[in-house]
A = this chain, B = another copy of it.
Amino acid sequence: MAGVRIPFTGTNLSRPFTSPTPSAYLRPTIISGVAQNLSYWDSIHSDIDSHLKKVIPIREPISVFEPMHHLTFAAPKTTASALCVAACELVGGNREDAIVAASAIHLMHAAIYTHDHLMLSNSLQSNPETEPKISHRFGPNVELLTGDGILPFGFELLAGSMDPAGDNSDDILKVITEITRAVGSQGMVAGQVSDVEFDQLSGQTRRCLHGCGAACGAILGGGSHDEIEKLRRYGSIAGKIQGLLSEMDRNEGSKMQIAEKWRDLALKELEYFDSKKIEQISTLVRV
């Protein structure tokens, strides 16, 4: 599953939460070595999808695994999980070292996404003007409990990825700490510090996930302390840009200028690395 470097074909932040078309879910398992016609980011998403399909098959009991499978793949792709793989490869690691963590990050995102779109008894959560229309295949109780199950399942995957000799346990614990902080107290506090409403916290959490994803990938790829911290900052800014651009429709176009300023800040973090190696990861912040 070593990374295949394919010319970038256009997956970037001006298409937030992009990549796989719905039909991608129907594709057979893709090993990146043979995915010749996929862009770099698409090939990463494809590998994460393949891993998730393997670990969450639709099996008995159907009433548990069908909603789990459905809600995992119903959540739009997040570049936070793709960043995890890209950061790992940038610091010299293999894709397979990061694929479990990237899958776990997608599961966190899917659990948050499911709960974001839960129909609560207050009307705040279902403002037709601001909320995207989501088709709910399952009742709110099933969506609530499945989200509650998906989140710890991500940690179960990570804890289970310890190699038999236990050589990687320290790195896995570091990654678990990173992810728990991003989706737990830190993600919630980050929202508050930015002075947003409680309702928007989960959006902030998603942005935290980008810095976290990049840091986790760098840890698992054997990156140095400096590499981990630079990639964390790169990921955080990429997440911020993505958040800004996703709101562009309902806001003034001058935000593009802010996005461009942030892009330059993000790219500055990458100057530390070999310029030949940053080509692909840097496409994430092209605006």
- The residues of A with any CB-CB pair to B shorter than 8 Å are 61, 63-64, 68, 108, 111-112, 115, 118-122, 124-126, 139-142, 144-153, 155-156, 159-160, 162, 166, 169-170, 172-174, 176-177, 179-181, 183-185, 187-189, 191-193, 198-199, 201-202
10 contacts between A and B (CB under 8 A): A64-B189, A119-B120, A124-B139, A124-B141, A125-B141, A141-B199, A152-B180, A155-B180, A159-B180, A172-B173
In the bound complex, what is the Cα–Cα distance between A179 and B149 (angstroms)?
A: 12
Q: A151-B152, A177-B156 are in contact. Are A188 and B140 (CB under 8 A)?
A: no
In the bound complex, what is the Cα–Cα distance between A148 and B152 (angstroms)?
A: 10
Main secondary structure of the interface of A (DSSP, over half): helix
Least CB distance from A194 to B in Å reads: 11
Q: A148-B112, A188-B145 are in contact. Are A166 and B159 (CB under 8 A)?
A: no
In the bound complex, what is the Cα–Cα distance between A153 and B169 (angstroms)?
A: 19
Among B140, B152, B153, B201, the residue within 8 A (CB) of A145 is: B201
Are B170 and A166 closer than 8 Å at their CB atoms? yes
In the bound complex, what is the Cα–Cα distance between A147 and B118 (angstroms)?
A: 14
Are B160 and A198 closer than 8 Å at their CB atoms? no
Are A184 and B153 closer than 8 Å at their CB atoms? yes
In the bound complex, what is the Cα–Cα distance between A173 and B164 (angstroms)?
A: 12
**Considering the complex of A and B, which 5 residue pairs feature the smallest CB-CB distances, nearest first?**
A156-B180, A152-B184, A61-B192, A119-B121, A169-B169
Least CB distance from A119 to B in Å reads: 4
Least CB distance from A226 to B in Å reads: 21
In the bound complex, what is the Cα–Cα distance between A121 and B126 (angstroms)?
A: 10
Least CB distance from A69 to B in Å reads: 11
In the bound complex, what is the Cα–Cα distance between A160 and B184 (angstroms)?
A: 13
Are A142 and B198 closer than 8 Å at their CB atoms? yes
Least CB distance from A163 to B in Å reads: 11
A199, closest chain B residue (CB): B141
Are A151 and B153 closer than 8 Å at their CB atoms? no
In the bound complex, what is the Cα–Cα distance between A199 and B141 (angstroms)?
A: 7
Are A148 and B183 closer than 8 Å at their CB atoms? yes
Q: A112-B148, A156-B177, A173-B173 are in contact. Are A185 and B141 (CB under 8 A)?
A: no
Which of A68, A142, A148, A202 gathers most chain B CB within 10 Å? A148
Least CB distance from A135 to B in Å reads: 15
